[in-house]
Structures are given as C-alpha cells and as structure tokens.
Amino acid sequence: MSLFSFLDRDHSVAKPGYSRWLVPPAALAIHLAIGQVYAFSVFVNPLLAFSNSIGTPWSHKQVGYIFSFAIALLGISAAVFGKWLETAGPRKAMFVAASCFGLGFLVAALGIKLHSLPLIYLGYGGIGGIGLGVGYISPVSTLIKWFPDRPGLSTGLAIMGFGGGAMIGAPLATNLMAHFKAHGLEPIGPTFFWMGVVYFLFMMFGVFTIRVPAPGWKPEGFVPPVHQSAMISKHNVTVNSAMATPQFWLLWLVLALNVTAGIGVLESAAPMLQNLFSSKVTVFAAGGFVGLLSLFNMGGRFVWASLSDFIGRKATYMVFFVLGAILYFLLPSIHVLSLFVIVAGILISMYGGGFSTIPAYLKDLFGGVNVSAIHGRVLTAWSTAGIIGPLIINAYLDKYKAANRPLVDAYPHILHIMTGLLLLGFICNLLVRPVSERFWMKEGDLIPADHGGH
C-alpha cells in the first residue's frame, strides 16, 4: 500500500454509521481557506513598500496581476480538472488543492526572499491559483451525493465559506505582518510562509474528514419524490454532452450576468454611499460598510441556496434578476442611509447566492454524477465576468474623467447598465428548459463507483 493510497476514492468510502454532518465541515475547511484570495488586497501596500525598500519599485498594476493570475487560474483549473476530480474522488482533489494552495504561499515567500516578482506570480498566482480552482469544485458533487434531499443547503454551506474566507484571511495577514514587523523582520515573506503552513494544515483537516457515500446510500427515511418538477432530471449527462446543450450555455450566461452585476455594486456602493451621505458617513465608517457587504455576501450564499431547495433554482434566479433589476435601478435614488445599506446588502446577498445556487441548478438539469466537472466548466463564466465587469466600470469612469466630470456621477449610470444586464439574465433564465433525452447518459457510459456503476 503506497503512502498516498489513503487519498484514493476507494479508501474514502464511508463506513456504515458515518454521519453526513461531518461532510460540510470538511468542505468548509477547504472553502474558508481558499476564500483568503479575496483578502489579497491587504498585501498590496506592503508589497509596494517592500519593492520601494529594495530599490526596484513595482507598480500598482504589476502587484495587481498577482491577484488577477490567481483568479484566472481558478477558472481555468476548475474547468480543466473537473473531469479528473470525478474519477479521482474528493479526497485526492482536496489534497492537491491543499498542496497547491500551501505551496503557492511558500513559493511566493521565496519570491520575497529573492526579490523576484515573477516567482510571486508563479507561487501565489500560478500554483496557488490551481489550488483555488481544484479546491473550489472538490467538495461540490460529494455534498450533493450526501444531501440528495437538500442539495442547495449543502453546497450553500460550503460556498458560504468561500465568501467568508476573506474575513479570516485579512485579519490573519495583518496580524502576522504586524507581529513580524514588531520583531524587526521584513513582514511579508514570513507572513506568506506561515500562511502557507497554516492553510495547508487547515485544509488537511478537510482531506482527512471527507468521505464519499457507499454505493446506493440514501439518508435515513429519504424517499426520492415520485412526482417532481420537470426541471429536476433523474438522468445524468456527461460533461462533454452537457456542453453541447443550450441549457449549459444559458446557465453560463445566467452566472456571468449575475456576477457582472454584482461586481458593479461591489465597485459602486461604497463611493456612492460617501457621496450621497457625505455629511453622515466618514471614510472610516465607509470601511464598515464594505465589511457589512461581506457579511451579506456570505449570508446570502447560505440563505438563497437553502431557499432554492424549497422554491426551485429557476425561481430563485428569477428573484435575483427581477428584484435585483428593480433594486439596482432604485439604489442611486435612495437618500435614507439605513435603506441604502439594506438595499445594497440585499443586492450583494444575491451576488453571493448566484454562486451557491448554481451547483444545485446544474445537478437538477444534468444529474449528480458529473456535477463537479460541469460546475468547473460553468465557472469560466465567473472569470469572464471578472474581466467584463471591471471593463464596463473603468470605461465609464475613464469617460467621466476625460470630460472632467465628477466620478461619483458615473456610478448611477453604471448601476443602470447593470440593471440592463440583469434583464438579459432574466431572459436567459426564462429560456432554461429540461435537458433533451438525446443528451442523457446511456448504458455503457462510465459511471463513478460511488453511484453503483462500473
């Protein structure tokens, strides 16, 4: 038996009596760790100061590429490794994610030691980015298999972790940097090193805890409904066949448009708040507003995905697009502080809810067998939105800058554009229908062992 054989899918099949409530903490260990990427901004100023101190100043843009590489690699690796994950199993995938994410930090620490920005790109952006992508999709199909009765709740719990990861990552990084600085050390290198070690160990908790259900396992007392919505398929679709369906591309657009709109409110809400309520809100308090949005983002991931188990995925996205469009349109004209904060919070909760509801939507349409692989491919919509969203926003801001108009006047227009994108999303979601029979998996198609296949 090799040292790493415990990572094999066969060795991670749950014994009778294993509680499925141990699986969400395993998934959360991965998502809370990799969610650190959204706290990368805490390193930007220290990295700029570090580069100045060594006499080779890096530009803001050059440092920003570290985060961009990581996010780009997240989308690419989720798409590329999703299919492998379905055969390798969640434990091996989580181990790869933990190793890459931890190693990424260590290589970045070496980059600081050697004063090499390319090494930081390779470490945090490249190797760490692969850890992000593999880690993000690794627990999804396993959770769905353990919770056939509540797929939205289970994936919502895990993906909520990704939303909350920055809340741990930011104070952890700032405290570590302050600690090393107080001891007269260069703070970033040791912080990267120790974060790599700590996150690796934390993710290994998930690796050791995760189990796949035994073939044919069902929750006690669970009887699959005989009559269920036509939007919930009892059949499975392979990842390649899924990509040939209009439903895949409609959901790709649904996610891309929802995320683009969310980026719009993330970028616009804080400056608008300061402009609209300049007499009441200080810059310090605006920082609190950003924190509040993070809480709504995290909570929305759990609440909306759980709600989708009761009202259906299509209806949940209809709420995002209809309520979202109305609220995006109204936000710039709200002049009551508490109302502004609540509306912005609801909008950001729907941005998070879009991420956490999509795996269950994919499972409903394409079956649970290949859901991680299909989810990985759909996540390229996220990467695309990550490019398109800032492009739209920066184009508008540049236009206002060129015309010497105050930038804060641009934000209401940006939000109105986002309203239009949400209406497009509404149409795409409306067009989603059950997958045609010709795409269903046939006898003889490879089914992973935990589904009782061969």
Q: Which residues bind other proteins (CB under 8 A)?
A: 15-19, 21-22, 25-26, 28-29, 32, 161, 164, 166-168, 170-171, 202, 205, 209, 281, 284-289, 291-292, 294-295, 298, 341
Length of the chain in residues, anyone?
454
Beta bridge partners of 126: none
Q: How far is the CB of 288 from other proteins (least distance, A)?
A: 4
Which residue number, 146 or 426, has a Cβ lying nearer to other proteins?
A: 146
Nearer to other proteins, 173 or 428 (CB): 173
To the nearest whole angstrom, how small is the minimum distance from the Cβ of residue 207 to other proteins?
13
CB of 301 to other proteins, least distance (A): 13
Minimum separation from the CB atom of position 431 to other proteins (A): 38
| Torsion angle of C-alpha atoms 25, 209, 207, 222, degrees rounded to 10 | -70
Q: How far apart are CA 253 and CA 16, in angstroms?
A: 41
Phi, psi of 282 (to 5 degrees): -85, 170
Q: Which is nearer to other proteins, 327 or 341 (CB)?
A: 341
Distance CA 129, CA 122 (A): 9
Smallest distance from other proteins to CB 172, Å: 8
Measured CA angle at 164 (ends 298, 327), to 5 deg? 25
First to last CA, the chain: 23
Q: Across-strand partners of 443?
A: 445
- Least distance from other proteins to the Cβ atom of residue 94, Å: 14
Q: Token digits for 202?
A: 């934390």
103/126 Cα distance (integer angstroms): 10
The CB-of-329 to other proteins minimum distance in angstroms stands at 24
The DSSP-derived string for 188-222 is HHHHHHHHHHHHHHHHHHHHHH--BPPTT---TT-
CA 298 – CA 161 distance, rounded (Å)? 7
Minimum CB–partner distance for residue 182 and other proteins (Å): 19
* Nearest residue (CB) to other proteins, 26 versus 120: 26
Identity of the amino acid at 214: A
User: Rounded distance, CA 202 to CA 176, Å?
Assistant: 17
CB nearer to other proteins: pick between 1 and 226? 1
DSSP assigned state of 185: S
- Residue number, 41 or 56, with CB nearest to other proteins: 41
**Per-position DSSP letters for 368-420, written without gaps between them:** STTHHHHHHHHTHHHHHHHHHHHHHHHHHHHHHHHTT--GGGHHHHHHHHHHH
Nearer to other proteins, 221 or 225 (CB): 221
| Shortest reach from residue 38's CB to other proteins, in Å | 12
In the complex, least distance from residue 373 CB atom to other proteins, rounded to whole angstroms: 26
Residues 65, 71, 75, 78, CA torsion sign: positive
Q: For residue 158, give the H/E element and its range.
A: helix 151-182
Which long-range contacts (C-beta less than 8 Å, at least 24 apart) are formed by 333-336?
A: 333/412, 334/276, 335/276
Q: Which is nearer to other proteins, 15 or 227 (CB)?
A: 15
Residue 29 Cβ vs other proteins, minimum distance, rounded to whole Å: 5
Residues paired with 445 in a beta bridge: 443
Question: Is the Cβ of residue 286 or residue 319 nearer to other proteins in the bound state?
Answer: 286
Residue 122 carries which DSSP code?
I
